[in-house]
Amino acid sequence: MTESHLQDITRTIQLAVAPVFLLTAIAGILNVLSQRLGRVIDRARLVEGLAFNQVEDARRVSIAELRLLSRRARLIHTAFVGTTGAALLVCLLIAVAFLGYLFGFDFGIPMAVLFVLALAAIVIALLFFLREIFIAVATLQFGLPPEAKEPVVKIG
């Protein structure tokens, strides 16, 4: 193996390492999203169980909460799709980098496009996640009695 060839391989590996750090960050985001989705699902199951054992007024409140929980779950799901899409794009970016090296092609532009698409997918996912957090905070009640309960933040 020539010195030049070894340097080329080393450079390719170095270029592929940066996207791997991005994959680590994406894995952290996916972990947070899955935990939040689990909490939403647990709460929805609890509220569903209570809704069937309540009088009409309380049932309406439970149904309204279930609608909010459903909306939150959809937002988290969309954030999951964006984050997972970003992870797939980063994996594809790494593969293209190595294929470009192996076959001697200049894949600079496709790699740049994949990177920008991955970042755009993460930004979109984070915006959906932020919206879900706004809804969660807006529905906080802090154990107040029913007559004192108002959303902390208005849902727009």
26-42: pLDDT as tens digits: 999 999 999 999 999 99
User: How many Cβ atoms sit within 10 Å of the Cβ of residue 110?
Assistant: 15
Instruction: Answer yes or no: is 71 within a domain.
Output: yes
What is the span of the domain harbouring residue 69? Answer: 3-148
Banded model confidence at residue 144, pLDDT cuts 50, 70, 90 = low
Q: Is 104 left (phi over 0), alpha (psi -120 to 50) or beta?
A: left
pTM for the predicted model, two decimal places? 0.75
33-84: pLDDT as tens digits: 999 999 999 988 888 877 667 666 666 778 888 899 999 999 999 999 999 9
Instruction: Answer yes or no: is 110 within a domain.
Output: yes
Instruction: Answer yes or no: is 154 within a domain.
Output: no
Instruction: Answer yes or no: is 155 within a domain.
Output: no
DSSP string, 125-139: HHHHHHHHHHHHHHT
Q: Is the pLDDT of residue 17 over 90?
A: no
Instruction: Answer yes or no: is 156 within a domain.
Output: no
Do residues 139 and 65 lie in contact, with contact meaning Cβ atoms separated by under 8 Å? Answer: yes
Banded model confidence at residue 155, pLDDT cuts 50, 70, 90 = low
The token duo for 38 is 């689990």
Instruction: Answer yes or no: is 46 within a domain.
Output: yes
Instruction: Answer yes or no: is 31 within a domain.
Output: yes
Residue partners of 13: CB distance under 8 A and separation at least 6: none
Do residues 124 and 75 lie in contact, with contact meaning Cβ atoms separated by under 8 Å? Answer: no
> Number of folded domains in the chain?
1
81-138: pLDDT as tens digits: 999 999 999 999 988 888 888 888 888 899 899 999 999 999 999 999 999 999 988 8
Instruction: Answer yes or no: is 68 within a domain.
Output: yes
